[in-house]
Amino acid sequence: MIKKSRKLGRGVAIVGAGVCKFGTLKGRSSRDLFVEAFNEMRASVDKGLEIKDIEALYVGNFSSDFFEGQGHIAPIMADWVGLVPRPATRVEGACASGGVALREGIIAIASGLYDMVLVGGVEKMTDLPTERVTDTLGGASDVLYEVPAGFTFPGLYAAIATAHMNKYGTKVEHFMKVAIKNHNNGALNPKAQFNSTIKDVMASRVKKAQERGQPVPTWENEMGFLKDDRANPVVAWPMRLFDCSPITDGAACLLLVAEDMAKNFTDTPIYIIGVGQASDVALHDKEDLSCIGAAKEAARQAYDMAGVGPEDIQIAEVHDCFTIAEIVATEDLGFFKPGEGAKAVEDGVTARDGAKPINTSGGLKSKGHPVGASGVAQTVEVWHQMRGEAGPRQVPGMDIKLALTHNVGATGGTCVVHIYERR
Amino acid sequence: MEREFTSASFNEFLGEKKLMASKCIKCGALYLPPRPLCIKCFGTEMEWVEMKGKGKLAAFTTIAIAPTLMLEEGYGRDNPYCTGVVELEEGPKISARILGVDAKKPEEIKIGTPLAVDFVERGEGEGKRTFLAFKA
Ligand SMILES: [Zn+2]
């Protein structure tokens, strides 16, 4: 393993960020979502942006080929925001496509090749029926050996969950608490697909039953609702519907510039001080099934470059494609010891008003998971929080100077970690 | 002639009810799924080794929202199936279907359960395919 410390050739800063509204967006294709995110990004550049100054585009996208029947989307995205003839590159790393695109954009500026780069992520998923989406996402695992065994994407994370439960005594209630927390955060995020708490969901189910003259369901509390097989059916045990991130249409954009130019665009740029990426084997080949090795290695690289440790990070957006994934992420990143991520959720440490707020955006669970866009959208959330612009979901009483994002492809075949600083 | 160290050969062996791994002749590393290049010593000389087919459950799930492949076999919401990662006595782990457990009662399925290799045959004639399974 290469353990030599690495630094960027020159500093890189984020000076603009935007996301489109996430959800099931009928009649709108990936280019429409991308334009919406781009326009929000443009409006976020405090001192204005000359679009013609953007020199290149890196766009994360997992599978527009299967989802929309459209390959080769990078030049289309470039065209729709007026960047032609600038080079446009599509980056694929399953659900980490967006994070990997960001890393490529950073490398392009750090190398000196460009001064200003647009990084985007986009996925239009809801045109396909659920079984076809399941098949397409399954394509991010090992199709020769995992798919014939009957594994689905939720199934692979469910297997990680059983290994975690067996090794550390983690309970299904811990997974449910992640869902409750992230829905609480998503309820405060107008861009979220599920802009509602679990309690809101329960109330709407009751209302719907009343309107239809059906028997009105009663649940003691949120846990009662989440344990109800009818209200919250099993997808792949122990992962139930509310343990899974949804199928989402969405896009996100970031504007990156060389550090020495950053103040020309804003007085509060967000600097990228740590970058890490790693790969890993198929789930069955992992020595330890209860963690994600690529996350540990990507985090090690990012902490090393940034010169900070997990204890210094104030907030993080982590890849909660499934509730178990958030617990594992907070352990892999070193926020909590292995096996103690579940207790941290239970104790409220990772809540928005806790000591280590995780997924203030609502996470993939509640904000939605347009796979190629998610890694970029995580950075958009951190940008808002670090600049104190997150509105009602702004972390209370915390001057956020250091934040982290963690973006995973499939079961950890790819993981990207970024660390951000506000100076 | 020795069969190539590919997934096609692996599946062909499954059709003959054999679970076969590849073993590096130079350093002895064992690979399941089989592979043609040793990633420990980077040697390219491999030999086929049959696994005894004994192992234990390392991780599992019971799936209700099934992919097309399993829907076509009659699995789904009302008929979940179990799949998992099996750790073989010889060391390697592999993804496989898990039989002989009640997929409707996942709470009762235990990691560490001893398993023996089994083979699930689907389709007829040219379309016939054998899937790796393990039975409790
Ligand atoms: Zn070898």
Separation of CA B29 and ligand 1 centre (Å): 5
B3: distance to nearest CA of chain A, Å? 18
- If we measure between CA atoms, which residue out of B127, B89, B77, B84 comes closest to residue B109? B84
Same domain, B32 and B66: no
Q: Give the chain A residue nearest B109 (alpha carbons).
A: A162
Contacts of A283 in chain B (CB under 8 A): 59, 85, 95
Structure tokens belonging to residue A305: 């470059």
Are the C-beta atoms of A142 and A44 separated by less than 8 Å? no
What percent of chain B stands above pLDDT 70?
99
Nearest CB partner across the interface for A284, out of B71, B80, B85: B85
Same domain, B56 and B36: no
Same domain, B35 and B77: no
Same domain, B67 and B131: yes
Same domain, B69 and B122: yes
Rounded Cα–Cα distance for residues B8 and B130 (Å)? 12
Amino acid identity for residue A77 in this structure = M
- When pLDDT is averaged across residues A347-367 and rounded to a whole number, the result is 98
Contacts of B112 in chain A (CB under 8 A): 166
A243: distance to nearest CA of chain B, Å? 13
pLDDT at A5: 86
Chains A–B, number of C-beta pairs less than 8 Å apart: 113
Same domain, B131 and B67: yes
Same domain, B43 and B104: no
Rounded Cα–Cα distance for residues A247 and A126 (Å)? 6
> Which residue of A229, A234, A242 is the best one to mutate when testing the B interface, meaning the one whose CB has the most B CBs within 10 A?
A234
pLDDT at A134: 87
pLDDT at A159: 98
CATH code (residue B85) = 2.40.50
Angle between helices A293-306 and A323-332 (to 10 degrees): 50
What percent of chain A stands above pLDDT 90?
97
Query: CB–CB of A131 and B94 under 8 A?
Result: no
Nearest CB partner across the interface for A151, out of B33, B64, B95: B95
Q: What is the pLDDT of residues B66-78, one digit of tens each?
A: 998 999 999 999 9
Are the C-beta atoms of A254 and A7 separated by less than 8 Å? no
Domain with B71 in it? 52-136
Q: Give the chain B residue nearest A131 (alpha carbons).
A: B67
Q: Residue A198: phi, psi to the nearest 5?
A: -60, -35
Q: What is the pLDDT of residues A36-87, one digit of tens each?
A: 999 999 999 999 999 999 999 999 999 999 999 999 999 999 999 999 999 9
Separation of CA B35 and ligand 1 centre (Å): 11
Query: CB–CB of A145 and B68 under 8 A?
Result: no
Query: CB–CB of A162 and B111 under 8 A?
Result: yes
| pLDDT band, very low/low/confident/very high, at A338 (cuts 50, 70, 90) | very high
Number of independent structural domains in chain B? 2
Same domain, B43 and B80: no
Rounded Cα–Cα distance for residues A179 and A197 (Å)? 9
Separation of CA B133 and ligand 1 centre (Å): 28
Q: What is the pLDDT of residues A157-200, one digit of tens each?
A: 999 999 999 999 999 999 999 999 999 999 999 999 999 999 99
Are the C-beta atoms of A58 and A87 separated by less than 8 Å? no
ipTM score assigned to the predicted complex = 0.97
How, if at all, do strands B129-135 and B46-50 pair?
unpaired
Spatial strand order in the sheet of A88-91: A88-91, A56-60, A116-123, A250-258, A12-19, A270-279, A414-421, A402-409, A315-317
Other Cβ atoms less than 10 A from the Cβ of A247: the count is: 20
Q: Average per-residue pLDDT in chain B?
A: 96
Q: Hey, what's the torsion of the CAs at A377, A382, A387, A389, to 10 degrees?
A: 60
Q: What is the pLDDT of residues A210-241, one digit of tens each?
A: 999 999 999 999 999 999 999 999 999 999 99
Query: CB–CB of A238 and B106 under 8 A?
Result: yes
pLDDT at A251 over 80: yes
Is the bond into B33 cis (omega within 30 degrees of 0)? yes
Same domain, B29 and B57: no
Same domain, B81 and B111: yes
Contacts of A239 in chain B (CB under 8 A): 61
Same domain, B82 and B16: no
pLDDT at A331: 98
Distance from CA of residue B26 to its chain's centroid? 25
- When pLDDT is averaged across residues B97-118 and rounded to a whole number, the result is 98
pLDDT at A1: 57
Separation of CA B32 and ligand 1 centre (Å): 14
Structure tokens belonging to residue B131: 């899937």
Other Cβ atoms less than 10 A from the Cβ of A389: the count is: 12
**Which are the catalytic amino acids of A?**
95, 369
Contacts of B106 in chain A (CB under 8 A): 234, 237-238
Other Cβ atoms less than 10 A from the Cβ of A216: the count is: 12
Amino acid identity for residue A210 in this structure = Q
pLDDT at A143 over 60: yes
- If we measure between CA atoms, which residue out of A411, A406, A370 comes closest to residue A253? A370
| pLDDT band, very low/low/confident/very high, at B63 (cuts 50, 70, 90) | very high
Is the bond into A238 cis (omega within 30 degrees of 0)? yes
Same domain, B67 and B98: yes
Contacts of B69 in chain A (CB under 8 A): 147-148, 150
Query: CB–CB of A239 and B61 under 8 A?
Result: yes
| pLDDT band, very low/low/confident/very high, at A2 (cuts 50, 70, 90) | low
pLDDT at A130 over 90: no
Element (H, E) at B47: strand B46-50
Rounded Cα–Cα distance for residues A97 and A376 (Å)? 9
Q: Average per-residue pLDDT in chain A?
A: 97
Other Cβ atoms less than 10 A from the Cβ of A291: the count is: 22
pLDDT at A135: 87
